[in-house]
Amino acid sequence: MKTMKMNNIMKIVSCLLLILVCFSSGCSDDEQIVASADNLIMQDEFNVDGAPNSEIWGFDIGNGCPNLCGWGNNELQYYTDRPENVVVNNGFLIITAQEESFGGASYTSARLTTKGKFEQAYGRFEARMRLPYGQGIWPAFWMLGADINTSPWPDAGEIDIMEYRGQEPTKTLGSLHGPGYCGDEEICDEPNLTKTYELRNDRFDTGFHVFGIEWGPEAINFYVDDVLFRQFTPADAPGPWVFNKPFYMLLNLAVGGSFVGGPPNSETVFPQTLLVDYVRVYN
């Protein structure tokens, strides 16, 4: 309940500051295309201890085999739904990567998805999180096209709201993958659309930050806290723009893999935790 109070205070403070900002800046829209999405339609504040709310979240279990061993990225973890790897406690969703032998893998972790439970086109999707750190640690808050079963990756589309390399604790990436443009050179002629945002005098593993997108028919804006760091529009895409249909959300903490340049090293500290304060969706 502490979080609830905090949120109320936040709202009040935010309103005050917004008023201040409006007066001082006139609140003039710049040239960004802004999706106005202030109507909260889905939220998980993670205020009930135990397993995550099964009405919102399901799990991907295992190592992706036989169809997609290493989850298509040479990842090294075995995903479980055990409390050792995923639990709600004290107002936070805690996803923990452990170094342990399990199911033939050397690491365990968890991957939550709203597939079949919450899927939506357009809106504002955001999560407040504190990220883990260390070589080979790869947390992500991302989305996949809900038609992925009939329109396999990358055709279904992928929106990476937050991707982060544990060995680069000041940087987060926002990315789009679509037909013909994705992070796999064997499948796609063009690279995915991506933008790195770097914190100055701060890092993502020492405090909470809000990672989000504002997604409308004409554009997807990527933001961290109050900084909108990149907008992608259909004109940016080297292939078809597929971000015009329902997507579902994923939250996961991978260990190793192509994106993070390989496995953890001897200096990587385990366990590592991804803390999620809330996930909220507005339209």
139 binds other proteins (CB under 8 A): no
d(C-alpha 82, C-alpha 206), whole Å: 26
Q: Interface with other proteins by CB under 8 A: which range of 105-113, 154-162, 195-203, 235-243?
A: 195-203
**Using CA of residue 224, residue 193, residue 213, residue 109, what is the dihedral sign?**
negative
Nearer to other proteins, 4 or 269 (CB): 269
27 binds other proteins (CB under 8 A): yes
d(C-alpha 63, C-alpha 69), whole Å: 6
* Residues from 35 through 94 that contact other proteins (CB under 8 A): none
d(C-alpha 63, C-alpha 41), whole Å: 33
For the bound state, the minimum distance from the C-beta of residue 60 to other proteins, rounded and expressed in Å, comes to 27
For the bound state, the minimum distance from the C-beta of residue 45 to other proteins, rounded and expressed in Å, comes to 12
From residue 283, alpha-carbon distances to 32, 58, 90, 216 in Å are 18, 23, 28, 9
* Residues from 165 through 184 that contact other proteins (CB under 8 A): 165-170
d(C-alpha 52, C-alpha 38), whole Å: 25
d(C-alpha 154, C-alpha 54), whole Å: 27
18 binds other proteins (CB under 8 A): yes
d(C-alpha 147, C-alpha 247), whole Å: 8
d(C-alpha 1, C-alpha 138), whole Å: 30
Q: Interface with other proteins by CB under 8 A: which range of 66-74, 152-160, 184-192, 210-218?
A: 210-218
Cβ–Cβ < 8 Å for 76, 138: no
Write phi, then psi, for 3 (nearest 5 degrees).
Answer: -65, -35
Task: Candidates 21, 41, 48, 65: give the one binding other proteins (CB under 8 A).
Answer: 21
Interacting residues of 93 by C-beta distance below 8 A, sequence separation 6+? 44, 46, 52, 86, 87, 112, 251, 275, 276
Helices (H) and strands (E) in the chain, counts: 1, 18
Task: Candidates 15, 41, 48, 65: give the one binding other proteins (CB under 8 A).
Answer: 15
Q: Interface with other proteins by CB under 8 A: which range of 74-82, 115-123, 129-137, 184-192?
A: 129-137
Q: Where are the alpha helices (DSSP H) in 154-244?
A: none
194 binds other proteins (CB under 8 A): no
269 binds other proteins (CB under 8 A): yes
For the bound state, the minimum distance from the C-beta of residue 176 to other proteins, rounded and expressed in Å, comes to 19
Contacts of 5-10 with CB under 8 Å at 24 or more apart are 7/45
Q: Interface with other proteins by CB under 8 A: which range of 46-54, 178-186, 207-215, 247-255?
A: 207-215
H helix or E strand, kind and range, residue 130: strand 123-130
134 binds other proteins (CB under 8 A): yes
For the bound state, the minimum distance from the C-beta of residue 283 to other proteins, rounded and expressed in Å, comes to 14
Task: Give the catalytic positions in this structure.
Answer: 158, 163
Task: Candidates 214, 230, 237, 253: give the one binding other proteins (CB under 8 A).
Answer: 214
Residues near other proteins, by CB under 8 A: 6, 9-11, 13-18, 21, 25, 27, 34, 124, 126, 128, 133-135, 165-170, 200-203, 205-210, 212, 214, 223, 225-226, 228, 267, 269, 280
